Chains A and B, each alone.
Chain A
Amino acid sequence: MIAGIETHQIYAVTAGLLFCMSLGGLFLCGHFFKKIIATKILGTAVFLLFISLGKRNAMEFADPVPQAMVITGIVVAVSAGAFALALARRIWRETGQSTFEDKP
């Protein structure tokens, strides 16, 4: 632990970094699978920020509301990810294409 910096602040900064990195990945990577992974990391960054907010209010216990939101968010993110993977697999099967640039 670095002096003067709390754990939750490290979480929040990490979340910000992850957010930027994954947005970069989403736009710069060509392959479908890499793009989908980038959206997963994007989700993780947002959830990490939410979790780090639980500590902010200097209560004895963590604030439960962000945790409830993260649970909901994870459920949504998992189904969106599964849907994206299924689509990518179907595209690959039908056309052999794995990036948006390929001409089938």
Chain B
Amino acid sequence: MRDRGRIITGLAVFVAVALAPVWQAALHGAARRPDPKIVTTAKQCVEPTAAMRRDHMELLNAWRDTVVRRGQRTYVAADGKTVTMSLTGTCMKCHPNKKEFCDACHNYLAVSPYCWECHIEPKEKS
């Protein structure tokens, strides 16, 4: 009976919190679509672009395990060409722009890969 005010307050708080993403979208305006900047002239990455977009984390994980645990550094790609398994030597040679390439999508999706807990981040002017 006399709790009605409190119940309705609680309900209003719940609805307001449930719509939190709507308020945030209204405050921050339209979100930008991430646009990873590719600076290399090479036509293709280690594997085709679609596969890289989807599976790059799995590939890097496999590379780390093969290099660190088995000491092998040669990777044979699906199309037969061989590459040296190295983040700084191979990946970062074509993509030295971590801030504009890696971080573009990772920040957008709140992904924080732990590559840079062991590897040294490339020096870039921000």
Bound pair: A and B?
no
* Chain A residues proximal to chain B, CB less than 8 Å: none
